[in-house]
Chain A
Amino acid sequence: MPWYLYLALKQLFPTGRRFPFFTAISILGVALGVAVLVISTSVMGGFGHEIRRWTVETTGDVQVRADDGAINNPAEFLAQLTKIPGVVAATPFAEGYVMLEHGLKPAFPVVQGIDVDRVSGVIPLEHYIHYGSLADLDDDSIILSVQLAMAVGARVGDKVEIHTPLEYEKFKNDEVLVPRELRVTGIFEIGHPALDSSLVLVTLRTMQDLYGRRGSVDGFNLKISPGLDADTAAARINAALPPALHGHARSWMEINHDLIFIIQLEQNMIFFLLTFIIIVAAFSVTSSLLISVVRKTREIGLLGALGGQPRQVAACFCFQGFIIGLGGTIAGFGLGFTVLHFRNGIIYLFTRLTQSEAALARFYQFKELPRYSDPSYMIAIVVCTIVICTLAGLLPAWGAARLKPVEALRSE
């Protein structure tokens, strides 16, 4: 190892010292900054990732709807969609609002009609059905979301009544439409409070009957080939669909554009603001190294006397900044990932202490703190930290390189 790198390591970790205090403090300062960055970007990334998960897993990668409302020729539409390269599966859906009643307890959920034979190819519904089974869903049954089931006190096997706007339309014509009675065959839980409290699933035919739609659907949810970008797939579908069908495809990202934009903006802002913690830590590294240059003035003079070049002396101090940055990054990642691993326990403890358990779910729509460590952010943290800390060594390095050996050796 060149002498300046060797000496940099020895000045940070002197021989015979088990705990190099100044080095430990400098590394700890950087590590704390890195840990906060890792935790905050991972949690923000988790929110985005979670939104992606429940969006894709409830609506598919791409959704196609008709420009002018209902799709009246779903079979033809479906045939066209499945011909498009990149489309793996497609399933029709129809939706609307209903009043659901069980034991005089009403609820006003969104009812979604699904094609039982096709839906599993696009949406992993089975995965979220905790009680009952998707296979049991027929034209006289319904699957409830968990919080809605709890709100109306319905269990698997119970019967619920469904009132639709069609009843009102019939009533205006002096006709009476009896509420539809459906048996509960399943209860699902997706993990998103809005969906878990306001969605019920019925067969497509039941939904069409409830709204009197005569075979029309609202759209199709599509699964695309793995690795294919959803926006690209949507554009490809729009280009391939015959104009006569009046269909328009949108990716899950386009559908949730505003939410994704806000989360991405927050994540970027947090990254930007928390980078200043690293910069503050880097100033303390600069300060420590400047003190080191002053303390070691005569040693620096000696290095010149022994034949060391000014640029090598500078490299010695820059390398110390680099090592502190590297050590701080490794320690910070260790600390950050440890906190992330125990995040739900920590949040549970915190919310219990502050009696705010419900707030997390109510405001952030998540029962547990999500986490997704985006590799690009992690790489950015590593690069930023090491570059900033190496730059922090520049000023002391410049000071050391400027010292003339004769004057340095003469200094008191």
Chain B
Amino acid sequence: MSEPVLSACGLTKSFLSGDRRIEVLRGIDLEVVAGESVSIRGESGSGKSTLLNLLSGLDTPETGTLAWAGAPAQGGRRAEFLGMVFQSFYLIPEIDAFQNVLMAARMRKVPGQAERARALEMIARVGLTERARHLPGQMSGGERQRVAVARALMNSPRLLLADEPTGNLDEHTGDAVIELLLGLCRETQTALVLVTHNAAYAQKTNRQLFLREGKLSHG
């Protein structure tokens, strides 16, 4: 078996609510290998987004360890190691779709011809060649999310974390985005962790997990 791309062991996280401490995550163990897709479902407020923030290194766990491809997770490696897709797209409104995709590469170094060609390729792979020079404000929700997917995969990450990527989309558009996400991850052997409410989308992943009372279980 290949080395896990993502390896989390005993992650815990709690928050203070007034004078009460709420334990959101109570020892999360998770391993994801290259090319594998894992879905995480759970009720609202169950801690799915908190878990994704821990896995992405944006937030730090109180206890437990997190490794990316066998090495401790560090913020400095984030841009090259993982891509993220959010429910609210989070595109930069002042720049067009092409530049939004290129921004992921720009974070690592000043982009050259190769990076520009790669950005155009990613735009083409999400089917938006004609919309490359359009601003996010001129695009539909589905198109914006496809741009966000292209941006997340721009640096050929080994791990893709998607937090409710269809939450703001209608059913038809959501289906298309999920198919695109799964297809691209399969094709590029990128590990995918998908947080979703939708059972049908979850069924399309290799492994379905459920987050309940701060622990992961098979769904």
> Does B69 have its Cβ within 8 Å of any Cβ on chain A?
no
Which B residues are CB-close (under 8 A) to A1?
Answer: 110
Interface residue? B53 (CB, 8 A): yes
Contacts of B76 in A (CB 8 A): 307
With contact pairs A298-B90, A305-B84 given, residues A15 and B104 touching in the complex (Cβ less than 8 Å)? no
A386 to B59, CA, bound (A): 37
From A3, which residue of chain B is reached at the shortest CB distance? B106
Q: Shortest Cβ distance from A402 into chain B, in angstroms?
A: 15
A341 sits at the interface (CB 8 A): no
Question: A304 at interface (Cβ–Cβ under 8 A)?
Answer: yes
B135 and A406 within 8 A (CB): no
How near does chain A come to B91, taking the closest CB pair, in angstroms? 8
Q: Are B108 and A307 in contact (CB under 8 A)?
A: yes
- In the bound complex, CA of A101 to CA of B75 (Å): 95
Nearest chain B CB to A173 CB, angstrom units: 96
List B contacts of A3 (CB < 8 A): 103, 106-107
CA distance A298 to B58 in the complex (A): 14
By a CB distance below 8 angstroms, the chain A residues around B79 are 306-307
Task: Verify B94–A14 contact, CB threshold 8 A.
Answer: yes
Q: Are A7 and B92 in contact, CB atoms less than 8 angstroms apart?
A: yes
A302 to B95, CA, bound (A): 14
Of B49, B53, B94, the residue contacting A10 (CB under 8 A) is: B94
Q: How large is the interface on B (under 10, 10 to 19, 20 to 34, 35 or more residues)?
A: 20 to 34
Q: Is A21 an interface residue (CB 8 A)?
A: no
Residues A305 and B103 in contact, CB atoms below 8 Å apart: no
- Nearest-neighbour CB distance to chain B for A240, whole angstroms, equals 64
B residues less than 8 Å from A308 (CB atoms)? 107
Chain A, Cβ-Cβ closest to B154? A306
Asked whether B7 is an interface residue with its Cβ less than 8 Å from the other chain, the reply is: no
Residues of A near B58 (CB, < 8 A) are 304-305, 405-406, 409
Contact A299 to B110, CB < 8 A, known contacts A3-B103, A304-B58, A307-B78: no
Contact between A307 and B135, CB atoms less than 8 A apart: no
| A16: Cβ under 8 A from any B Cβ | yes
The residues in B between 58 and 81 inclusive whose CB is less than 8 angstroms from any CB of A are 58-59, 75-76, 78-80
A409 to B59, CA, bound (A): 12
Residues in A neighbouring B49, C-beta threshold 8 A:
410
Cα(A410)–Cα(B45), bound, Å: 13
The number of residue pairs between A and B whose CB atoms lie closer than 8 Å in the complex comes to 64
A398-412 vs B, CB cutoff 8 Å, 1 = contact: the mask equals 000000011001100
Q: Restricting to A371-412, which residues have a CB under 8 Å from any CB of B?
A: 405-406, 409-410
Asked whether A409 lies within 8 Å of B92 as measured between CB atoms, the reply is no
Contact A306 B107 (CB under 8 A): yes
In whole angstroms, how far apart are the Cα atoms of A15 and B97 in the complex?
A: 11
CA distance A409 to B92 in the complex (A): 13
A299 to B92, Cβ gap below 8 A?
A: yes
Is the Cβ of B86 less than 8 Å from the Cβ of A409? yes
Closest A residue by C-beta to B86: A409
Complex Cα spacing A11 to B94, Å: 6
A308–B108 Cα distance when bound, in Å, is: 9
CB within 8 Å of B: which of A1-49? 1-3, 6-7, 10-11, 14-16
Q: Say whether B96 faces chain A, with CB atoms less than 8 Å apart.
A: yes
| Chain A residues positioned under 8 Å from B106 (CB to CB) | 2-3, 6
A299 touches B108 (CB 8 A): no
Give chain B residues whose Cβ lies under 8 Å from the Cβ of A405. Answer: 58
Task: Provide the A281-307 mask, 1 if CB < 8 A to any CB of B, else 0.
Answer: 000000000000000001101111111
**B residues within 8 A CB of A410?**
49
- Given A15-B135, A406-B53, A406-B58, the answer on whether A307 and B94 have CB atoms closer than 8 Å is no
Q: Are B103 and A409 in contact (CB under 8 A)?
A: no
B12 in the interface (beta carbon within 8 A)? no
Q: Is B37 an interface residue (CB 8 A)?
A: no
Q: How far, in whole Å, are A301 and B79 apart by their CA atoms in the complex?
A: 14
Question: With the chains together, A317 CA to B107 CA distance in Å?
Answer: 16
- Nearest CB of A to B112, in Å: 12
A405 CA to B60 CA, complexed, in Å: 12
| Chain B residue nearest in CB terms to A13 | B94
Residues of A within 8 A of B156 (CB): none
**B residues near A2, Cβ cutoff 8 Å:** 106, 110
Chain A 125-143 residues near chain B, CB threshold 8 A: none
**Interface: B189 (CB within 8 A):** no
Determine the chain A residues whose CB is within 8 A of the CB of B95 once the complex forms.
Answer: 7, 10, 14-15
Cβ of B56 under 8 Å from chain A? yes
Instruction: Return the contact of B103 from the options A11, A14, A304, A306 (Cβ within 8 A).
Output: A306
Give B72-127 interface residues, CB cut-off 8 Å to A. Answer: 75-76, 78-80, 84, 86, 88, 90, 92-96, 99, 103-104, 106-108, 110
Closest Cβ of chain A to B129, distance in Å, is 18
**Complex CA distance for A308 and B93, rounded to whole angstroms:** 18
A305–B56 Cα distance when bound, in Å, is 8
Which residues of chain B come closer than 8 Å to A409, judged between CB atoms? 58, 86, 90
- Residues of A near B94 (CB, < 8 A) are 7, 10-11, 14-15
| B 32-50 contacts with A by CB, 8 A | 49
- A275 to B108, alpha carbons, bound, how many Å? 40
Q: Which 4 A-B pairs have the closest CB atoms?
A: A307-B79, A14-B94, A3-B106, A302-B90
* Complex A-B: 18 CB contacts under 8 Å: A1-B110, A2-B106, A7-B92, A10-B94, A10-B99, A14-B95, A15-B94, A15-B96, A299-B90, A302-B90, A305-B56, A305-B58, A306-B79, A306-B103, A405-B58, A406-B59, A409-B86, A409-B90
Q: A299-B90, A306-B104 are in contact. List 10 more A-B contacts (CB 8 A).
A: A3-B106, A7-B95, A10-B99, A15-B95, A298-B88, A303-B107, A306-B78, A306-B103, A307-B75, A409-B90
